[in-house]
Amino acid sequence: MLAIDFGPNDVVVISGRLDAAQSAAAQAFLDQVQGKVTLDCSALEYISSAGLGVLLKTQKRLMAADGKLRLSGVSRHLRDIFEYSGFDQIFEIEPAR
Amino acid sequence: MSARPQQRRHSARDLETILGVTSALAAPFDLMTMLAEVVSAAKQVLNADRGSVWLYDPEPDELVLEVATGIRPVRVPAGVGLVGACARNRQIINVPDCYADPRFDPGVDKSSGYRTRCMLTLPLVDHKDVLVGVMQVLNKRGGGVFDDHDEALATALAAQCAVALQRVRMTEAVIEGEKMRQELEMARVVQMSTLPASMPALPGYDVYGTFKPAELTGGDTFDLAALDQGLLVVLGDATGHGIAPALSVTQMQAMLRMAFRLGANLETAFKEVNNQLADTLASDRFITAFVGMLDANAHLLRFHSGGQGPILHFQAALGTCARYKPTSFPLGAMRLSALRPVVTLPMQPGDILLLLSDGIYEYHDAAGQQFGETRVEDIVRSHHGASMAQLSETLMDAVEAFAAGAPQDDDITVVLVKRDAAQTGIHRSFERSFDSIESIFAFTADAFARQGIDPEFLPVVDLAVEELFTNMVKYSTMSSAAVRIDLDVIDDGVQVTLTDYDVERFDVTQAPDADIELPIEQRKPGGLGLHLIRRLVDSIEYEYSRESRQSRTTFRKTRAGRPDSGGAGKKGEEHARD
C-alpha cells in the first residue's frame, strides 16, 4: 500500500510501495504541489518504472515553472534504481542517513 | 684353361635367362602365381623336366608344398627326407641317382607314375638370411645329371627366387592386415549405428548415454529407449578383440529391442536373449550386459545384469552411492534355465543410476594405475546437481586428465539416468490486471519467507516481476488468460518465470534501453522497466512456443551474479549496454 501526504515543514512524505497499481494515486497528489518541493522517501520501500514516471512528470511540470522536486532519505536500493535510470541527473538526491 | 671358355659360354646365355627370370619374378603379387613363376624359371634355367617349391612354415617347423588351389597342401617336417634335410642344413643337395639315395621317398613316383632319376634340392634363403623354402628340380632334360655348373646357376637363381617369394608373402600379409582393418572399421560402423541417435525425453527424468570407441577393439554398446514397458536401459560389453565383439553386441542390442517390441517383460527378454546368444556365440565368447526397465511413474527401476558391474545408485538423500552386483553370469556364456529375482531400485528425487563400462574403471595411466571406482563416486557426489550430459562430460574429462596421454585401450560407455531433484518451486496464477499487483507482491514475499530466500533480493524480484507483468497486461490485450508466476530456489539465489498464455510472440528482452542521458524535457517515462531489469538481475531469457501460443520470460538473481547490485551503478555503464 502507499501513503502520500504533507508532513512537517511542507515536506511531502511518501511511504509504502510506489508501483503500477499505486502510481495514479501518487500522481494525483503530486499534481497539486508547487514550487520547490522535498519528497521524503525514507519510508518508501519500493519503486518501479511506473513510480519513476510519476516523479519524472512532476519534475518536468515543476521545472517549467522554476520549481523542482528534491528527494531525501533515499535508501540504498532506491538509489540504485535512480542511478540505473539516470534519475540522479534529473533530481537532487539526498541519501538516507 | 678348359673352365674359362665353358664359363663364358654359359654366362652369356645363362645371364640372359636369369635376368629374364628376375624381371618375371618382379611381376606377380599373389603367392600361387609367384610359385608357378619360380618353378618355371628353375626349369628353364636348369633345363630340368620338372620342379617344385616347398615353403617353410616356421611355426610347426614344416615344409609345405602347395599342390593346387583348393587341394590340401603336402607337409613335411624339417629334417625329414631330402627336402627336410636341405631345409635343416641350408645346403644344396645334388642326387644323381635318386633310387640309390635312402633319403628319397619313391612313394610320390608310385602314385604319379613319374620316374625320378636325378634331383637337385636347394634352400631358398632371402637376403636377410631367412629360410623361405626349398626348391627341387628333377631330371635334367636330354639325359645326364646336374653338374657343378648347374649347382652354381641354381644357387644364383635360388637367391632371386627367395627374395621374390618373401616379398609376395609379406605383401599378402599387409593386404590381409588391411582387409582386416577395413572389416573391423565396417563392424565398428555397424556397432555405432545401433546406438540411440537422440536421448529419449522422459518427464521428470534426465537420461544420457555416450560411447567413445577405442582405436582398434572393443565391444561396448548402450541403449536408452522409451518403450511401452518403460524406459529401456542397456549397457553391454562383449569380450574379445577384433570384429566379433563389435558384431555380437550389435546383435544383442537388436535382439533386446526386438524382444521388448514384441511385448516381452524384463525376465523373458533377458533369458531368451541369453539363450539365443548361448546358442549362436562362439563358445569362448560372452557379453556382460545390464538390462533395466524404468517405470517413470512408480519411480522403480528393475534390472537384470549378466556380469555387468558395478552398478552404482547415487542416493541423493544420503549423498552416497550404493553398489549392486550382477544378478547372473554374462550373456551367452551358457543357457539359463532359472533366473535369480530381479533387483528393484527405488528412484528417489535426485537419485542417479550410473552404468559405466570397464573402459572407465580400468583405464590406466602410464604407471599402470587404474581410474577405479572411488574416483567415479567422488565425481558423482560433487557433480550430482549437474545435468547428466554435463556429468558425463565431467567423467570423461576426469578420465582423460587421469590418463595424462596414456592411450585408450577399450571402449568407454557412460549411461546415466537421473530422477529430477525435488521441485522446491512455488507458483501461482494472477488475473491479467493492475489490480493483481498487490497479490503478486504478497505471493513473492510469502514465497521468499517459506523458502528462506535472502530478503535482500525481494525488491529486485518484485521490480522485475512488476515490470514484466505490467507489460503483459498492457500489450497482450487480446488474451484473457491468467499469467502464471513460478518462483524457484536456485544455488545462492532465485529464479522467476512468468508464463503468458494465448499471446503473440513479443520478446521483451529485445526491447531497446531507455536513453537516460537525454535532458529532462525530452525524457519519457516509458522503456525504463526493462532497462532497470537488465541492470538488476543476473540474466533474463525469453521463450515462445508457437504451438501453445505461450510466452515464457525467465530471470535469475543470485549473490554471485551481480555482487555490486546492492551498491551504486557506475555512471556511463549504461552506454556500454545496447
CB pairs under 8 A between A and B: 86
Contact check, Cβ <8 Å, A49/B568: no
Question: How far does A79 lie from chain B, in Å, by closest CA?
Answer: 7
| Closest B-chain CA to A48 | B463
Residue B160 near residue B18 (C-beta atoms within 8 A): yes
Contact check, Cβ <8 Å, B525/A56: yes
Question: How far does A11 lie from chain B, in Å, by closest CA?
Answer: 23
Q: Say if residue B310 is preceded by a cis peptide, omega within 30 of 0.
A: yes
Of A49, A63, A83, the CB nearest to B528: A49
Phi and psi angles of residue B235, each rounded to the nearest 5 degrees, phi first: -135, 125
Chain B residues with CB-CB distance to A under 8 A?
A: 434-435, 437-438, 441, 459-460, 462-463, 466-467, 470, 514, 516-517, 520-521, 523-526, 528-529, 531-532, 535-536, 565-569, 571, 574
Taking contacts as CB-CB distances below 8 angstroms, the residues of chain A near B448 are none
Q: Which of B200, B291, B289, B308 is nearest to B249 (CA)?
A: B289
Question: How far does A19 lie from chain B, in Å, by closest CA?
Answer: 8
| Closest A-chain CA to B435 | A21
Triad B181, B184, B189: Cα angle to 5°: 125
Test the B interface: residue of A44, A45, A83, A92 with most B CBs within 10 Å? A83
Question: How far does B292 lie from chain A, in Å, by closest CA?
Answer: 54
CA-CA distance, B495 to B464, in Å (whole number)?
11
> How many helices (H) and strands (E) in chain A?
3, 5
Of A19, A76, A85, the CB nearest to B532: A85
Question: How far does A62 lie from chain B, in Å, by closest CA?
Answer: 12
> Can you give the pLDDT at residue B12?
65
Contact check, Cβ <8 Å, A45/B459: yes
CA-CA distance, B153 to B33, in Å (whole number)?
23
3-state secondary structure B147-187: CHHHHHHHHHHHHHHHHHHHHHHHHHHHHHHHHHHHHHHHH
Measure the CA dihedral B4/B6/B10/B12, to 10°: 50
Q: What is the pTM of this model?
A: 0.50
CA-CA distance, A25 to A5, in Å (whole number)?
11
| Closest B-chain CA to A55 | B525
Taking contacts as CB-CB distances below 8 angstroms, the residues of chain B near A48 are 462-463, 466-467, 470, 529
In Å, how far are A73, A78, B93, B391 from A94, measured between CA atoms?
6, 11, 120, 51
Taking contacts as CB-CB distances below 8 angstroms, the residues of chain B near A27 are none
Contact check, Cβ <8 Å, B568/A59: no
Question: What's the one-letter identity of residue A81?
Answer: I
> Can you give the pLDDT at residue B7?
46
> Can you give the pLDDT at residue B574?
39
Q: Greater confidence, B504 or A42?
A: A42
Split at pLDDT 50, 70, 90, the class of A92 is: very high
> Can you give the pLDDT at residue B481?
85
The SS3 of residue B77 is: strand
The SS3 of residue B387 is: coil
Contact check, Cβ <8 Å, B528/A85: yes
Question: How far does A52 lie from chain B, in Å, by closest CA?
Answer: 7
Chain A residues with CB-CB distance to B under 8 A?
A: 1, 17, 19-21, 45-46, 48-50, 52-54, 56-57, 59-60, 63, 76-77, 79-81, 83-87, 89-90
Question: Which of the 8 DSSP states describes residue B143?
Answer: S
> Can you give the pLDDT at residue A44?
95
Question: Which of the 8 DSSP states describes residue A88?
Answer: G
pLDDT by position in tens, chain B (length 578): 444 444 445 566 676 777 777 777 777 667 888 888 888 888 888 889 998 899 999 888 999 887 655 567 788 888 888 999 999 999 999 999 999 998 888 887 887 788 899 999 999 988 788 899 999 999 999 888 999 888 988 888 888 888 888 888 888 888 888 888 888 888 888 888 889 988 998 888 999 999 998 876 678 999 999 999 999 999 999 887 667 888 888 889 889 988 998 889 999 999 999 999 989 888 788 899 999 999 998 999 999 999 998 999 999 889 899 999 999 999 998 898 888 999 999 999 899 999 999 999 999 898 889 999 999 999 999 998 888 999 999 999 999 999 999 988 889 999 999 998 876 678 899 999 999 999 999 999 998 988 888 898 999 999 999 999 999 998 877 778 889 999 988 878 899 999 998 888 888 888 888 888 888 888 887 788 999 999 999 999 998 888 778 899 999 999 877 544 443 333 333 333 33
| Closest A-chain CA to B529 | A49
ipTM over cut 0.90: no
Of A54, A60, A77, the CB nearest to B459: A77
The SS3 of residue B140 is: strand
Test the B interface: residue of A47, A84, A88 with most B CBs within 10 Å? A84
| Closest A-chain CA to B528 | A49
| Closest A-chain CA to B469 | A20
The rounded radius of gyration (Å) of the Cα atoms in chain A is 12
Of A53, A63, A86, the CB nearest to B517: A86
